Structure 1
Amino acid sequence: MTIETTGHTDPGEVSELVHSAAAIRAAVETVIEGKGDVIRVALTVLLAEGHLLIEDVPGTGKTMLAKTLAKSLDCSVRRIQFTPDLLPGDVTGVSVFNQETRDFEFRPGAVFANIVLGDEINRASPKTQSALLECMEERQVTVDGTTYELAAPFMVMATQNPVEMEGTYPLPEAQRDRFMARVSMGYPDTRSEMDMLAEHASTNPLDAVQHVADAAHVSRLVDVVRGIHVAAPIRQYAVDIANATRTHPDVRLGASPRATLHLVRAAKAAAALDDRDHVLPDDLQTLAAPVLAHRLILTADAQIAGRTTETVIADVLRRVAVPAAARA
C-alpha cells in the first residue's frame, strides 16, 4: 500500500512533539508499570484535544494513571470525586450573593482547570454527570445566562467502574459520545506487578514524578497536531468505518459524526507521535476500538449471544475496504 501525501506541518515541529511526548511518557511510566499501550492512547487524546474515559475494576490503577499524567504537566489540575450527593453546581460553579457588593458573583467550579480528574464518574447521578456536557464539547460553562470560557488546554480524564458493579449509574449516551477514547487498564503482568511491589510498596510513586511540560508547551504541541495532513481517501475511509457501524446487524446505535471527527483527530495525533506529518490507514485501524467501541449500543440479540462492541469493530475493519493510495 502506497500513501502519497504532503504534510502541512514543519518536520522540525513534529520531531519536537515526539521528543516532548517521549518525556511525558517516561514520567508516567515511572509510576504505571507495563501499560505502554494505555499510556500512548492517553497521550494521543491529550494532543488531539479530547477527553479520556478509563474503565476497569477497582484497584487496577485508573486514578493513578490520571493523576500521574496530570502531575507530569505543569498546569492547573482539579479533582472531582463523583458521589451520589454531588450537585451540578459543584462541577460547573455557582452564583453567590455578595453582601458587601450587594450583587451576585460567580464562584468557579472544579472544571475550571487544564486537567480535570473525574474519579468514579458513574457513581454520581445522570443529572450531575450532565453538568460536564457543555464544558467537554464547547470548552465553556454557562451559569445563570452568563458564559465563561475554560482554560486551554482542557482535558477531562474520568474513571469508572463497570456499570454492573453496585452503586453505579450507566453514563448517558451523550456523555459517552463526548469522550474521545476509552481505555481499560487490565491487570499487570507478573513482572510489572513484582516491580510495583519492590518499588512502590513503601513509598508514594507520585512524589518522584517531575513536571516535564507546561500548559503553554502542550498548547503548542496541539497546534502541531492540527497541522497534520489527512488526505481525502483517508477521510473517506474514516467515514466508511463509521457508516459500517451504523448498518451493522449487531448494532442498535452506531458511531455518530462526532465519533468520526474524533477518530480523525486521534489519528492525526497518532501520526505525529510516530514522527509523521500525514495520517495512514493504519492509524485509523489502531484507534478504531478505543475511539468507537464505547459509543456503540448492541442489539439485545447480540448481547445475549455474548458479542461485544470490540468484536463488532474488528468485523467492521475486516469488511471495509482500505484505500490503496492517497494523494494530497
Structure 2
Amino acid sequence: MRFVSTTIFVVILAGITGNGHLAAAQDGNANTTGNAPYVLFDLRDDVVWNLNHYQILDPDAETISTLITYADQGPLNFDLVLQSIVLPYCDVRFDPAICDGHGIPVDWLNDLPQTLCMEIPASVALEQASKLKDAKYLCLEPRENLVLPDNWEHYYDLQTYLSQRVETSAITVADGIAIIDIQVLDAINTPLSILSPDGYGPVEIGMTDDQIRAHMITPMTSSRDDNLQTEQSTCYDLQPASGPNGLGFMIRDGKLARISIYADEYDIATSLIRTDRGITVGNTIDDVRAAYGKELIDQENDYEGPDSRYLTWWTDKTETSGIRFETGPDGIVSAIHAGGRSITLIEGCA
C-alpha cells in the first residue's frame, strides 16, 4: 500500500452514502443528534495535490481517538466542511493525453479515492492499545462506492457544511493498519460563504429582496410574515430556511442594508461562517484586533457593560461600508454585522 500525503478527506466523505445519494439541504438546520459522539473536519484551507486510491489525512489526536472509541457503538455525528479544493486536471496530471485544459475541474466521480487513512499519534496508540494492537494507521473503508450528491454542482464554488449521521463497524487490524467500515445513514448540506462589507458570497449589499432570493441556493423566510409586521414594512429580515440559523439579511427601504451573524449554541453552521479576514462568532477580541488592526473603532456595548465591546472597521473614511463585531463580557465575539451604516444599529431596524 502506498500512501499519498494529501487532504481530500472532506470531499471524499461528502460522497459516502448507503443508497448512492446524499440528502440536499432540508428545512431545519443540521445539529448533533442527541448524545451521539461527534467529530468535525474543516478542510476549507487545504488543497489536494495528488489523486490516488489511498489518501492519507492529518486530523488531530482527539478526532482519531473519538473514531476509535466509538467504532461499532451506534450512530456517529460526522460533520464536514468543504469547498472546491481539488485542482484542475492540468495541475495534477502531467500527461497531455489526459489533460482537459487549465481551469477544468477534476472529474469527481472517476477520481475519488476509496480509502481514507490517517497516521495514529503515539498518545492515541497507547490509549487505545487493546483495540489497535500494532496498528500505525487508521483507515476508513466505505461500504459502497463513493458518490457525490446529485445537486453537487450547485455547491461547487461555495463552501458547504455537510452534517452526516454515519454507522461504523468494529475495528479490524491487519498488517499494521486498523480498518473501520463506514456508511452514511443520512446527511444535510448547508451552503456557506465568506462575509465581507460588500456582502455574503453571491449576495451583495444593495440587492433587492428578489435578487437575494435568486442568488441564495436555499429558500428564504421573511420576518414580514410575522403577525407583528405587515407586508408594507420598510425594514425586515430574510433568513435561509435551511440555515445557518444565525444568519440574517436586513432589508431597509427595499434594499439589503446589512448582513448579520448571531451566535447560536445549537447551530454549528453559524459558527463556521468566516469574514474575509477569517473571523467567526466564537473568536476573541484579540483575534479581531489582530485581523483588523489599529483602524478598529472600539466602543462600549450599550447593553452589557464596559467589558463588552463594539469593534467597528470601516473600509474608508466616509464610513459608508464596513463590518462590526459585538463581544460579550467574556471577550468572545457574539455577533458580526457587515454592510453600510446600518451595521451600527443596535436594536435591529431601530
TM-score (norm 1): 0.24
Q: Quick check: which one's helix share is greater?
A: 1
Q: Quick check: which one's strand share is greater?
A: 2
TM-score (norm 2): 0.23
Q: Which has the larger radius of gyration?
A: 2
Bigger relative contact order (CA 8 A; separation at least 6) = 1
